[in-house]
Amino acid sequence: MGRKLLLEHIDVSGIETYDVYRNHGGYKSVEKALKTMSAQEVVEEVQKSALRGRGGAGFPTGMKWSFLAKPEGVPRYLVCNADESEPGTFKDRFLMEKLPHLMVEGMITSSYALGANTAYIYIRGEYMFVLDILEKAIAEAYAKGWLGKNILGSGYDLDLHVAPGGGAYICGEETALLESLEGKRGNPRMKPPFPAVKGLYGCPTVVNNVESICAVVPIINIGADEYLKIGTEKSSGTKLISACGNIARPGVYEIELGLSVEDFIYGDEWCRGIANGKKLKALIPGGSSVPILPAHLITSTAAGERRYMSYESLSDGGFASGSMLGSGGFIVFDEDQCIVRNTWNFARFYAHESCGQCSPCREGTSWMEKVLHRLETGKGNMRDIDLLAEINKKIEGNTICPLGDAAAWPVAAAIRHFREEFEWHVTHPNDAITRNYGMLKTPSITL
């Protein structure tokens, strides 16, 4: 059994209430940070822990914090990105729903490190019930003196607010999130300037994922040196993986980074193999935006080495034969699943969620969706497959924010690894319409 840092007390009943949480070592990191450490020391500790952003991009959190501009007389903000909307990712919801006080504790410690006196949790609009849970936890924290003026007599003030989004995937992009938080249309901003210099209301802002902020708590509690011992050299610590798809036991698991992919899929502690005794066909290891991996590249890399659940091992081989750890949305496909249909489903999602600001993404994502729909329903031709590859090359890298890349990568990878399946749809149009890959009997599309 791997070490658990975030979900250590998840099975304790009533852990979502203040008293139980406090009895199980809650708010210790706040005590330690505010009483014994300077803000700079907390930042250095997080930097030393080599914690990488858990939202998807994997940018070192400590480094992000160190970039924060600190001009005199200008407020600084910490914003928690809880707009988790990536298909296949549901770890943040689990954390906030089950351990709301861990979230609040992480926010206090992190805000203290950054010198922010106001912090926001921007939560996905569909998570309204989680918002209620968080607000209850925040009210308890205020009542017990963990929030508000002069926390623990240290002279440090913090106000924490929860703001719900309107249900747009794009608002998970940090600058679009800030626009939305300011009450505007959630369109990503041009970068530079980065939020660390000019963010919320034009002030220096740090935007971090829920899990990154929660991970600060154990880092401060056990110390960076201890934290570094967990995981691998380049991927320290633990990570929540939300496993779903055709596995025997889907759910949210906390793993030590560096666990082998094979163990994770087939191990008894985790997914317990493919459901119904089927064979493994493909894997998306980090949420819908990352490239899909075919069966032969899942448990071992192209070079024949074992594949591990870590930032460096999953991206081994680049996009040609690797993928990304991303946000930890682990989607497993068995032999019955249709890759074309799945790719179309993702393309439909991105076409729907593109903000409509820059032209390659706005027009390109819906074009890809239409071409994939045609292929999936047996109306495509061989030219369409090349056309798709061509379109996604022209979207990738040419857009304001990473949504364009996120829309292009899964399509590119599906064509790269499963081209014969696309061709099968062209050569067997009737079968493509009538076959049913274990999904809904009648496709919800007009044929």
Partner 1 sequence: MIKVTIDDIEIEVAEGTTIMNAARMIGGDIVPPAMCYYSSLPGTGGKCRTCLVEIAAGSTKDPRPMPKLMVSCSTTVQDGMIVKNRTSEKVIENRAAVVEFLLINHPLDCPVCDQAGECDLQDLGFSHGKEGSRYEEEKRTFEPIDIGENIKLHMNRCILCYRCVHVANELTDQRVHGALHRGDHTEISTYIEKAVDNEFSGNMIDVCPVGALTDKSSRFKSRIWFLNPMNASCECKKCSGKAVVWMFGKQVYRVSVRQDKYGEVEVEDGKPNWICNECRFDKKDVSNWNIEGPRHIDRHSVISQGHYEKPNPLKNATKNIE
Closest approach, Cβ 349 to partner 1, in A, equals 11
Torsion sign (Cα): 447, 366, 195, 203: negative
Residue located via tokens 């930097």 = 47
Give the residue with the Cβ less far from partner 1, 335 or 363. Answer: 363
Give the C-alpha separation, 98 to 21, whole Å. Answer: 11
- The total of other beta-carbon atoms located within 10 Å of residue 61's CB is 27
Residues 61/51, Cβ–Cβ less than 8 Å: yes
Closest approach, Cβ 324 to partner 1, in A, equals 17
Site residues for partner 1, window 282-341 (CB under 8 A)? none
Give the C-alpha separation, 163 to 123, whole Å. Answer: 6
Residues 62/47, Cβ–Cβ less than 8 Å: yes
Site residues for partner 1, window 388-427 (CB under 8 A)? 394, 397-400
* Piece in contact with partner 1 (CB under 8 A), picked from 32-40, 134-142, 274-282, 349-357: 349-357
Among 257, 351, 406, 426, binds partner 1 (CB under 8 A): 351
Closest approach, Cβ 168 to partner 1, in A, equals 7
DSSP class of 79: E
Site residues for partner 1, window 96-135 (CB under 8 A)? none
Among 365, 410, 412, 422, binds partner 1 (CB under 8 A): 365
Among 100, 357, 402, 406, binds partner 1 (CB under 8 A): 357
Give the residue with the Cβ less far from partner 1, 187 or 236. Answer: 187
**Does 368 engage in binding with partner 1 (CB under 8 A)?**
no
Give the residue with the Cβ less far from partner 1, 296 or 393. Answer: 393
Residues 171/122, Cβ–Cβ less than 8 Å: yes
Gyration radius (Cα) of the chain, Å:
22
Residues with Cβ < 8 Å from 348, sequence gap 6 or more? 369, 372, 373
Closest approach, Cβ 170 to partner 1, in A, equals 7
Tell me, rounded to whole angstroms, the distance of Cα 311 from its chain centroid. Answer: 13
Site residues for partner 1, window 227-246 (CB under 8 A)? none
Torsion sign (Cα): 246, 250, 252, 256: negative
Closest approach, Cβ 420 to partner 1, in A, equals 23
**Interface residues toward partner 1, by CB under 8 A:** 168, 170, 185, 190, 351-360, 362-367, 370-371, 374, 387, 394, 397-400
